[in-house]
Structures are given as structure tokens and as C-alpha cells.
A and B are shown apart, each in its own frame.
Chain A
Amino acid sequence: MTRLAGIILFLLWLPTAWGKTPVFEVEIRDHLFHPEEIHIPANTKVKLVVYNRDATPEEFESYELNREKVIMGGRKANIFIGPLEPGTYPFFGEFNPKTAQGRVVVE
């Protein structure tokens, strides 16, 4: 039984290990994105992990990337983006659009 469970776990783990979707991390602090600019490879799907270090909620939003996600204070969110053509794709925090600005540079 335990061996079966082990095999199942291994099989579940395999796609994540083989899928090798690159992971990029961004932090929101004082309504600013750190780093403001993320460089990702062209024509590749990547996973963006956004940590909201503020106490207030934020909404990660990008018209160019077609993405929108509420991130509560002190939480994190996974956002998959791409595959994308080379170029610059701006994103912003919808709750603090003046300060929370960043961009994904695809190269």
C-alpha cells in the first residue's frame, strides 16, 4: 500500500519535474513591484510567483499579458504567462496603479 502510494506520488511529481516551467518571483512592497522588470525567455511558458508583502490587497493586472489576479495582503499568487513573442509587456497593481508598475521583458 505504501509502495503504491509512493509510486502514485512519484508519478504525480514527474510532470512538474519534467515540465520544467521556469519560475520567476516578484514582490509587492509599499505598493511597488520588486523587481520592476522581469526578463523571461521568448516562446516559453513561465510561472510568475507574486508575493504581496503589504498588509493591503493588490490586484495584479496586465492588458498586454491578459492577466488579472487579486492577491490578498501577506499572500502569494501563481500566474502563468506565455509563450510570448519578444517585446515589453507592462503590468500594474490595479489597486495602486500610480506606483505599482512593472514590465515583463521577453527576449
Chain B
Amino acid sequence: MLLNSVILILREVLEAAVLVSVLLALSRSLGQGLRWVWWSLPLALVGSLWFATSMDTLTDALDGAGQEVANAALQVLVFVSIVVVVFIEGIWSTRLGLIMRLVMVCAVSLALIREGSEIWIYVSGFAAVPDLRTPVLTGSAMGAGIGISLGVLLYSSLRALPSVWQRPACLALLALIGAGMVMQASMLLEQVDWLEAGEALWDSASLVSEGSLRGELLYAVFGYEATPSPVQGALYMASLVAMVTAYYSSRFLRKRLNEQ
């Protein structure tokens, strides 16, 4: 049970930690500091608890599709927040600092709600069993510790890059994370038959299994799927196109504004 808890919590924390680290690194390189992240914690905590405690009603809502639709909506909203972050970065001036921090708070809170609620459901469900309390709590703390450490490592690596590379590196990672979120959302909608699944585009499970450490890391950053459906693939590409559009249109806009 101890090892299970470590792995389970690590998986959940890692996904969120990657996004938070990249946003923090971007925020620092824009001179916006790290303090805004504290604002997202109470929001995420309240959100996750509410999400976890209404999981019963949520699951049965929309003819049994409620859980997936709610999770997919959260992920699409995180994606939208990331697109806005990329856009603001393109027209950046220090006057936009407050808006940028607010959008980042939004992205982090929404991303933490899903992961946080799953952690809460697991920990509260199994810590209630007397024999399991100690291993579940110890394992969860260890998993969270490892996940957060990996996030700190990613943050430090991004900050250690030469300064001209920091912002492009953060934006590239954000584009991949965002597209991964949309792909996850489409998978959830296929799960409840709101989207047609179709046959898998390819099978790379023999190359990199989703359950392996490499697979999990790739999943956290790219939303890696060994057997993506055509809809998942198409939406992944569309999300990347949306990111690139946000990147270039904001730069075009800034150039225009500077000329005037």
C-alpha cells in the first residue's frame, strides 16, 4: 500500500507540478515574482474539496457523463488560460503584470482542482481504514515530496537557461502542456460517448509504455498517449496551432502598436 500511495500521488502531483513550475519560471523572467502562486492555493483547495465531495452527484449527472464533462471542462479552461498567457507574453509590458498574474492564478487553480480532488478522494477513502492509515498517509507525503521536488528541479533548470532562452523555452513547454490537456479532455469525452473514438492512429506502446516512468514523464509534459484516436490527434494539432497563432498574432499586434 505504501508504494502504491507513493506512485499514485506522485503521478497526480507531477502533472500539476510541471505546469506550475513553467508558469513560475515565466513569471520570474517577466519580473512578476512568485507570490501570486499563494493565491491559487486556497482557491484550489476549496475547489478540490467541493469537487471531491460532489463526485457522487457529479458522476450521475448528464446521464452518467458528469464526471468526464466536468473534468474535460476544467482542462479546456486551463488550456484557454495558457493561450491567454502566451498572448499576453507576446504584447508584454509591465503594465500587464496584474492581468498576467491573475490569468496564471486561474490556470494553476483550475489545474489543481482535478488533481487535488483525486488525491482527496484517495486519501480520505483509504486513510479511513485503520490498517491502511499509516502507509497511505506516509506514501502520499512521500509521493507529494518527490513530485514537488521534480517541479523545483524543472523550475531551476528553466531559470538556469541563458536569459534569451528562458521565455521561449517556457512558451514551448506551455504549448505542449496545453495541447496535452486538450487531448486528455477529448479522451474523457470519448469515454462517455460524447465524441466518437474511432480506431487508434498508431500504437507506440512497445516503444514507450504509458505505465513506465518515461511514459509518465512524457504524459505530464506532452500528454503522451501510446494509442491516440484520430479525434485526439486532430485536437492536439489544433491546440498547437492555436498556441502558435496566439504567439504570432500577439507579436504582430505589438509591432503594429509600436509603429503607431
Chain A residues with a Cβ under 8 A of chain B: 21, 43, 45, 47, 56-57, 59, 63-64, 66-73, 75, 77-85, 94-98
Contacts and interface: CB of A to CB of B under 8 A. Distances in A.
A97 B199 CA distance: 27
A68 to B, nearest CB: 8
B4 A97 contact: yes
Contacts of B59: 70-72, 75, 77
A79 B210 contact: no
Contacts of A21: 193
Interface string B122-137: 1001101100000000
B12 to A, nearest CB: 10
B125 A79 contact: no
Interface string B180-214: 00000001001111000111100001000111000
Contacts of A97: 4
B121 interface: yes
Nearest 4 pairs between A and B by C-beta?
A63-B210, A78-B64, A57-B125, A80-B193
Given A63-B209, A66-B187, A67-B191, A72 B56 contact: yes
Interface of B: 4, 8, 55-56, 59-60, 64-65, 67-68, 118, 121-122, 125-126, 128-129, 187, 190-193, 197-200, 205, 209-211, 215, 225-229, 232
B198 A80 contact: no
A50 B192 CA distance: 13
Contact of B67 (A64, A70, A81, A84): A70
A106 to B, nearest CB: 12
A69 B197 CA distance: 16
B227 A95 contact: no
A45 B229 CA distance: 13
A78 B192 contact: yes
Contact of B199 (A68, A70, A85, A98): A85
A45 B226 CA distance: 20
Given A72-B56, A80-B190, A64 B227 contact: yes
Contacts of B121: 57, 70, 72
15 contacts: A47-B193, A57-B121, A63-B209, A63-B211, A66-B191, A66-B225, A70-B59, A70-B118, A72-B56, A72-B59, A75-B60, A77-B59, A77-B64, A77-B67, A85-B200
Given A66-B187, A66-B225, A83-B198, A45 B193 contact: yes
A59 B121 CA distance: 10
Given A59-B118, A64-B205, A71-B59, 11 more contacts: A45-B197, A63-B226, A64-B226, A64-B227, A66-B187, A69-B67, A70-B59, A70-B121, A75-B59, A81-B197, A96-B4
